């Protein structure tokens, strides 16, 4: 009889588990979170050590990778299981910090081995709480220094060992040297000096009067790469079509996890890595086409395009070569050798004449 009662209870519990909703965080939607967090005056006590602002810019959040479904808020803030709207704050006030490593499992080991982790810097100290974006691959070197790394570091206060450091710092992202294990490439961006901004992909296509895909127009041999000759055609089109822009280049980091492995002691200090005739960095060049939605498309370019006259702010001795300067220098060298050889030949040819003249002078 006892076994029969236990069986009935067990079957009843199983039935009720299907009928009644299980404890779930499904009711805690992003919209319910924004009931409070859309208020730009919402703050917490700054003594917690956290950013006091609790406002969430929903547009930035929706455009970020963290917005992957309607319950993505509680996917990170997993200790919120339900909301009590009768309370002053509908959830626990002191929430645990989200564990970024749960999703960013490749980035976490690289960051853990960085000088930032050694000094108790957290993900949130560099990346915004909500609406994060890929930083190293998106920001220019100047913006990275002033508005990101520059929040803690002033690059010009150091790097005194670097020749022409201002020039280097203006065209090389911090992470290129300070995260040397990460990927890196030369990136070309279209810049409107009159409007003082980098052009979007739509603006570039409009200026160049392109119908269709950018690479289909300029990739004549359809190999997926803009060759040096094809890049020259692009440069000419920029000039001839009154496209008020120029092309700027800089060394940027790729968007890979190792870019978080910042290490001051292991930073690149070898000039040959860039300033070498066969530098691998210049074999990996990209044109950036930025979409209006913030997306970035990178079009591969032959590294020799870095030698284009149309790249006004970027030149790496030995790595980038200007054919006109090379030919001019070669003409100077050959001209100097030719003058010396002509002088030597004339002296040799006229030597007997000079010898007879000297003999005649002695006889008198």
Residues 10-57: tens digit of each pLDDT? 445 444 444 444 444 446 899 999 999 999 999 887 666 677 888 999
Residue 7's contacts (CB-CB under 8 Å, 6 or more residues apart) are none
pLDDT score recorded for residue 23: 40
**Phi/psi at 347 (nearest 5 deg)?**
-60, -45
The SS3 of residue 305 is helix
What residue ranges of the chain have pLDDT lower than 70? 1-27, 46-49, 137, 242-244, 276-277, 305-327, 364
**CA angle, 151 then 155 then 159, to 5°:** 155
pLDDT score recorded for residue 3: 44
Full DSSP string of 299-338: EEE-GGGGG-TTB-S---TTTS--HHHHHHHHHHHHHHHH
Q: Rounded to an integer, what distance in angstroms lies between the CA atom of residue 324 and that of residue 309?
A: 10
Helices (H), 219-320: 228-240
Domain boundaries, the chain: 22-132, 135-321, 323-356
> Nearest-CA neighbor of 274 among 325, 318, 228?
318
pTM tops 0.75: no
pLDDT score recorded for residue 39: 92
Look at the chain and count its residues.
Answer: 364
Q: Rounded to an integer, what distance in angstroms lies between the CA atom of residue 80 and that of residue 28?
A: 8
pLDDT score recorded for residue 35: 92
């Amino acid at each position: 009889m006892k076994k029969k009662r236990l069986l009935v209870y067990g079957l009843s519990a199983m039935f009720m588990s299907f009928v009644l909703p299980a404890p779930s965080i499904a009711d805690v939607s992003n919209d319910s979170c924004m009931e409070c967090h859309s208020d730009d005056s919402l703050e917490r006590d700054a003594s917690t050590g956290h950013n006091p602002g609790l406002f969430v810019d929903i547009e930035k959040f929706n455009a970020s990778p963290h917005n992957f479904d309607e319950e993505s808020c509680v996917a990170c803030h997993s200790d919120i299981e339900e909301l009590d709207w009768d309370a002053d704050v509908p959830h626990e006030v002191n929430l645990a910090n989200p564990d970024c490593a749960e999703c960013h499992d490749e980035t976490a080991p690289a960051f853990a081995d960085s000088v930032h982790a050694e000094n108790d810097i957290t993900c949130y100290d560099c990346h915004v709480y909500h609406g994060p974006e890929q930083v190293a691959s998106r920001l220019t070197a100047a913006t990275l220094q002033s508005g990101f790394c520059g929040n803690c570091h002033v690059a010009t206060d150091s790097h005194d060992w670097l020749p022409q450091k201002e020039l280097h710092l203006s065209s090389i992202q911090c992470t290129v040297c300070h995260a040397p294990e990460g990927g890196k490439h030369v990136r070309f961006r279209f810049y409107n000096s009159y409007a003082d901004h980098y052009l979007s992909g739509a603006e570039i296509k409009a200026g160049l009067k392109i119908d269709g895909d950018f690479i289909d127009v300029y990739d004549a041999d359809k190999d997926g790469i803009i060759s040096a000759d094809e890049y020259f055609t692009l440069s000419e089109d920029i000039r001839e079509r009154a496209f008020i822009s120029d092309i700027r280049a800089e060394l940027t980091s790729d968007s890979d996890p190792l870019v978080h492995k910042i290490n001051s002691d292991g930073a690149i200090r070898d000039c040959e890595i860039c300033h070498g005739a066969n530098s691998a960095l210049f074999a990996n060049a990209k044109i950036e086409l930025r979409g209006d939605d913030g997306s970035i498309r990178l079009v591969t370019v032959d590294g020799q395009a870095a030698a284009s006259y149309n790249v006004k702010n970027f030149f790496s001795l030995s790595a980038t070569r200007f054919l006109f300067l090379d030919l001019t220098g070669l003409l100077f060298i050959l001209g100097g050798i030719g003058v010396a050889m002509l002088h030597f030949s004339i002296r040799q040819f006229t030597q007997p004449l000079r010898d007879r003249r000297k003999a005649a002078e002695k006889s008198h």
